[in-house]
Amino acid sequence: MAKKTANLSADSVAGRPAVRAVEVSKTYSSGAVAVQALKGISLDVPQSRFVGIMGPSGSGKSTLMHCLAGLDTLDSGEVFIGEQEITRLSDKKLTRLRLEHVGFIFQSFNLVPTLSALENITLPLGIAGRKPEREWLDTVIETTGLTQRLHHRPSELSGGQQQRVACARALVGKPKVIFADEPTGNLDSRSGAEVLAFLQQSVRQLGQSVVMVTHDPTAAGYTDDVVFLADGSLVDRITAPTAADVLERMKGFEPAGAGARS
Ligand code: ADP
């Protein structure tokens, strides 16, 4: 379908990454103890690319995602979302940038229980004072397979359907990037596969850029690139990974006897 090949981002002409991290460092201090969660991480997330972030528990995945999304401050380094460097923006400008250019998908769906699926999908746009583009909204709804469920409330939807509503909500504002934090963590494997296939389709057919934190090699197998964190540093990367590649690589990073789950 022609409308599904339209690229989401005007920046594509310049070939600029959707997100760029340059030498990002972050330390948490609690009392006398300081934990260096990120140790000079540089990472480009190209446009129209599905990038996975993996690593053992405590390796810095969530911190990195929060820093990339402007949800946490850095000690040093720079983060760009599109052409905008975000680390020196005021809170107000950062909130605006997130509303307009960043989509989020969480493990726990984070839908508003009293609103219908459609109202949930368009809520962030409304907060940003924008109206959905009708044709794009239709494309997103059709692609997520939610056409028959738009007037249902979250409690009337399965977990997989709720997460697809969350995906549609993230996608409908045409953000420069969507951050997905363990998006299949609360789903059975079949619903998880549907959500992952949808995210992959949004990258390949709609030109979306997606960054996903996951502990699951099967989920990582849907990405275009997976990067591995260990102890706050980027230690490896696989392009076009299979689940088996990822599993094999993870064995090298997990402490002996530890499970893969973060
Ligand atoms: P992951 O997502 O890979 O499990 P995190 O980014 O959550 O790792 O944590 C990286 C390191 O930073 C860990 O050592 C963790 O204990 C520490 N950390 C994370 N958040 C905080 C916080 N708010 N305060 C203090 N230490 C934190």
213 assigned to some structural domain: yes
Model confidence, pTM: 0.90
Note the pLDDT tens digit of each residue in 73-86: 999 999 999 999 99
What is the rounded distance in angstroms from the CA atom of residue 21 to the CA atom of residue 220?
21
Q: What's the number of domains the chain is made of? A: 1
Give the mean pLDDT of the chain: 90
3 assigned to some structural domain: no
32 assigned to some structural domain: no
Note the pLDDT tens digit of each residue in 8-55: 444 444 578 999 999 999 999 888 899 999 999 999 999 999 999 999
Residue 254: predicted pLDDT: 64
Q: What is the CA radius of gyration of the chain?
A: 18
41 assigned to some structural domain: no
Q: Which residues line ligand 1 (CB under 6 A)?
A: 28, 30, 35, 37, 55, 57-63, 262
Strands (DSSP E) found in 63-140: 76-81, 84-85, 102-106
Question: How far is the centre of ligand 1, averaged over its atoms, from the C-alpha of 181 (Å)?
Answer: 14
What is the rounded distance in angstroms from the CA atom of residue 3 to the CA atom of residue 23?
38
Which ligand 1 atom is at minimum distance from the Cα of 57?
4
3-state DSSP assignment of residue 139:
helix
Structural domain including 128 reads: 47-74+88-250
What is the rounded distance in angstroms from the CA atom of residue 86 to the CA atom of residue 112?
28
Q: 64 with 53: CB under 8 angstroms? A: yes
Question: How far is the centre of ligand 1, averaged over its atoms, from the C-alpha of 259 (Å)?
Answer: 18
The angle at the Cα of 230, spanning 228 to 233, to the nearest 5 degrees, equals 85
245: domain CATH number? 3.40.50.300
In this prediction, residue 5 has a pLDDT band, given cuts at 50, 70 and 90, of very low
189 assigned to some structural domain: yes
Structure tokens at 250: 């993870």
Q: By C-alpha distance, which of 250, 111, 123, 136 is closest to 202?
A: 136
DSSP state for residue 64 in the 8-state scheme: H
- Which residue's CA is the closest to the ligand 1 atom numbered 12? 37
- Which residue's CA is the closest to the ligand 1 atom numbered 22? 28
Residue 144: predicted pLDDT: 87
14 assigned to some structural domain: no
What is the rounded distance in angstroms from the CA atom of residue 194 to the CA atom of residue 187?
10
Residue 152 has pLDDT above 80, yes or no: yes
Question: How far is the centre of ligand 1, averaged over its atoms, from the C-alpha of 59 (Å)?
Answer: 8
Note the pLDDT tens digit of each residue in 154-188: 999 999 999 999 999 999 999 999 999 999 999 99
Residue 231: predicted pLDDT: 95
27 assigned to some structural domain: no
Residue 261 has pLDDT above 80, yes or no: no
Q: What per-residue string of b and e applies to 116-151 under the rule 16 or more CB within 10 Å gives b? A: bbbbbbbebbeeeeeebeeebbebbbebbebeebee
Q: By C-alpha distance, which of 119, 223, 101, 222 is closest to 169?
A: 119
166 assigned to some structural domain: yes
